[in-house]
Amino acid sequence: GSGCGIGASDGHRKAGGIDVMSEERPASPAGGHPRVLLVEDEPSLVLTLVDRLESEGYEIVAMAEDHDELLTAVEKHQPEVVVTDIRMPPTRTDEGIRAARQIRAEHPSIGVVVLSQYVEPEYALKLLEDGSTALAYLLKERVGDAGALADAVERVAAGESKIDPKVVDALVEGR
């Protein structure tokens, strides 16, 4: 086959996007792409995310719209990666951050990409306070770029992290 070209040149992954260092991670299905659980409640963005992920060859195993649906879907579908909004029902504050931390604590083999509409350094710090392994914080403005979203998904599936450059800039400015 043609293999998976995403991240193939960084020297950290075997063919198919599997990280050499991540022995506990289950093998991805044929094609080497992680199975993704998508959590977003804004219909237009759901369509964009589904289109971007499926066009890159990812299988979306389930979708959820809120914190409780997300945690239930993780247990039921055991995805390799969760792509979630930070703000979701019921409070639209930091449910995505809280869910990401809980998923990482209870399911260390699952990577989480958190999407944010805004540069929110305090949320990035809260996300990363237990470590950065298999976590990404990406601004929603980047999801229009299929490569940026796919890179974040591949990185967290491999146990790596990715923080949006604008968020890094805000964190440095806030010191």
Please state whether beta strands 111-116 and 135-139 pair in parallel, antiparallel, or not at all (unpaired). Answer: parallel
Using DSSP, state whether 69 is helix, strand or coil: helix
Q: Higher-confidence residue: 71 or 14?
A: 71
Mean pLDDT in residue range 66-86: 95
pLDDT digits (tens, 9 = 90+) for 20-74: 333 333 444 445 789 999 999 888 889 999 999 999 899 999 999 899 999 999 9
| Single-letter amino acid, residue 22 | S
Whether residue 14 has pLDDT greater than 60: no
Mean pLDDT of the chain: 82
Residue 64, Ramachandran bin (φ over 0: left; ψ between -120 and 50: alpha; else beta): beta
Whole-number Cα distances in Å, 66 to 19, 40, 96, 127, 141: 30, 8, 9, 18, 21
